[in-house]
Amino acid sequence: MEKDLILTLDAGTTGCKCSVFNTAGDALCAVRRDYGTQYPHPNWAEQDPDAILDAICDGIRELLVQVSPQRIACVGLSGTMNGCIPVDEHGAALHPNIIHSDSRTEAQVAEIENVIAFEDFYRLTGNRPDTHYTLPKILWFKEQLPDVYRRARWYLNIKDYLYGHLTGRFGYTDYSDASLTAALDINRRVWAEELLKSLGLNPGAMPALLKSHDVRGKTTRDIYRRTGLITGTPVAIGGGDGACATRGAGMVEPGSAYTSMGSSAWVCQLTDRPLLDPKARIFNWVDMNGRDYQVCGTVQCSGSAFDWGVKNLLGGGSQWSDVSLVENMARQIAPGAEGVLFLPTLMGWRTPYWDANTRGCLMGFSLYHDQRHIARALYEGIAFALNSCLEVMVECGAPARSMMLTGGGARSGLWPDMMAAVYGLTTQVHRNPGETTGLGAAIAAGVGVGLFRDYGDAASIVSARSTHPVNPQWAEAYREIYAIYAGIYDALRPLNNRIAALPAAKG
């Protein structure tokens, strides 16, 4: 029987998705298993890596009822980035995964900034010193749980933990996940040993670096017993979810960009070098091929801000379960929502301001305006926030030449046209906008075992379901209203800082 299928395992924030792709890029079948996040203290967020491993194994077992394991040519991996799992020499987790949304490490970030200047850190790593990254989390273990720190052999991300248990090979990661530890020398593509040593950390605890298509790992007998996956099936180390989504979106050369529109959202493009912004508003990681780079600007609260607005500003209720009703309301109002503006910063502002104190805002309304204007402003506010990410890349000399839309928001009938007008750039909607992360993991694994010649060859399986040219009248209206939107942050910053200082606003 021909081995012509790729099994992908994507460990997300709320659950894992296990899928089987063919070499045309079609997801033949998929299952999802949910798992929880623990919040033991304010600003803490942890997950049990063994619960995720169990969920993955359960998902594989169900998929292999639908597809013969003899057809599985390889396994591709993806997972959330910025995590931190200390493991011993046998790969056993010594502590739950401190995940990307955890921000307990303000004190450790301050320590890092005492050792290395902010600008030097950004030039070295391509990233800002920030609580969400892995490096300050390792410092936290050293200071708060010294016994765990002493016993830890490696610090892994979740997909690296899964790789170890699938193959028996622990202590490995790929370049993309390594980049967002904020402990990698982004230009030399090696661990920043001097930085680690200056912080009193052991560089030997950082995992070995592999290209995402490395398939030297093979599934073990234990995995066969747990899942039915044939022993010796090649496993690619894979990439972080953002890196996988870039390749799954069909990005293949510098200037090719995509927008992912989910609960959070981002604009990302391929570059041939790190794109270092003098103001450190955007961040970088090494591409899955271990050679190129990806630069990203992110909107912390996108789809979640939209959902919040529908529930709390439009009255919520079961009648809004069909989002097309909201879209139809928005379509009744002209671009610019007749001066109504929505700031979707309900969890602070990342790119371009990186300000946790920023609050959400609905402004410009009067007794004349109604729910239709609010509906339009919800769509436009998120589009404007994403445009502020793209603007930084353009300012830094990396204009996008193409724009693919992915994620749940790409299924909208309105956003693709709106994004084209706001960006001033024709947009395309991915053929399978919800499958880009898994497809990117499949591409890396397929390159590894020779199902695809290289990443460029694999990009040919990605196509668009629709194309949306720029509407000149909409674009003109958005240029005028966006200029107002772009001034909101500076105008409101003093008030937001005062609000954040209120006792009732903390925590």
Q: Give the residue among 169, 168, 165 at the shortest CA–CA distance from 51.
A: 165
208 C-beta neighbours (distance < 10 Å), count: 13
Which of 107-111, 252-256, 466-470 has the weakest average pLDDT?
A: 252-256
Residue 79 has pLDDT above 70, yes or no: yes
pLDDT tens digit sequence for 385-433:
999 999 999 999 999 999 999 999 999 999 999 999 999 999 999 999 9
Contact 48, 94 (CB under 8 A): no
SS3 375: helix
Calpha distance 258→341 (Å, rounded)? 25
Residue 319 is predicted with a pLDDT of 60
Which of 220-234, 321-335, 439-453 has the weakest average pLDDT?
A: 321-335
- Please list the residues that pair with 33 across neighbouring strands: 16
Q: Give the residue among 143, 118, 444 at the shortest CA–CA distance from 281.
A: 118
Residue 351 is predicted with a pLDDT of 95
Token pair for residue 493?
Answer: 């910053």
- Please list the residues that pair with 87 across neighbouring strands: 93, 154
Domains and CATH numbers, the chain: 5-237 (3.30.420.40)
**E-only strand ranges, 150-255:** 154-156, 172-174, 184-185, 190-191, 208-210, 217-218, 234-235, 239-240
Q: How far is CA 246 from CA 55, 242, 243, in A?
A: 25, 6, 5
Task: Produce one character per residue of 448-487: b if its CB has 16 or more CB atoms within 10 Å, e if not.
Answer: bbebbeebeebbebbebeeebebeeebbebbeebbeebee
pLDDT tens digit sequence for 267-309:
999 999 999 999 999 999 999 999 999 999 999 899 999 999 9
Residue 108 is predicted with a pLDDT of 98
Q: How far is CA 298 from CA 133, 158, 174, 264, 507, in A?
A: 15, 21, 22, 8, 23
Q: What percent of the chain has pLDDT over 90?
A: 93
Average pLDDT over residues 1-13: 94
Q: Are strands 27-34 and 15-22 parallel, antiparallel or unpaired?
A: antiparallel
Q: What is the pTM of this model?
A: 0.93
Residue 374 is predicted with a pLDDT of 97
| Identity of the amino acid at 416 | P
Residue 436 pLDDT class (50, 70, 90 cuts):
very high
Calpha distance 188→191 (Å, rounded)? 9
Calpha distance 437→443 (Å, rounded)? 10
Residue 42 is predicted with a pLDDT of 86
Q: What percent of the chain has pLDDT over 70?
A: 98
Calpha distance 405→453 (Å, rounded)? 26
Token pair for residue 14?
Answer: 């709320």
| Identity of the amino acid at 246 | T
pLDDT tens digit sequence for 137-187:
999 999 999 999 999 999 999 999 999 999 999 999 999 999 999 999 999
Residue 317 is predicted with a pLDDT of 67
- The per-residue pLDDT of the chain, averaged, comes to 95
Alpha-helical segments (H) within 199-351: 221-227, 241-248, 303-312, 323-331
Calpha distance 5→383 (Å, rounded)? 37
Residue 507 has pLDDT above 80, yes or no: no
Q: What is the largest CA-CA distance in the chain?
A: 69
Token pair for residue 431?
Answer: 């053929």
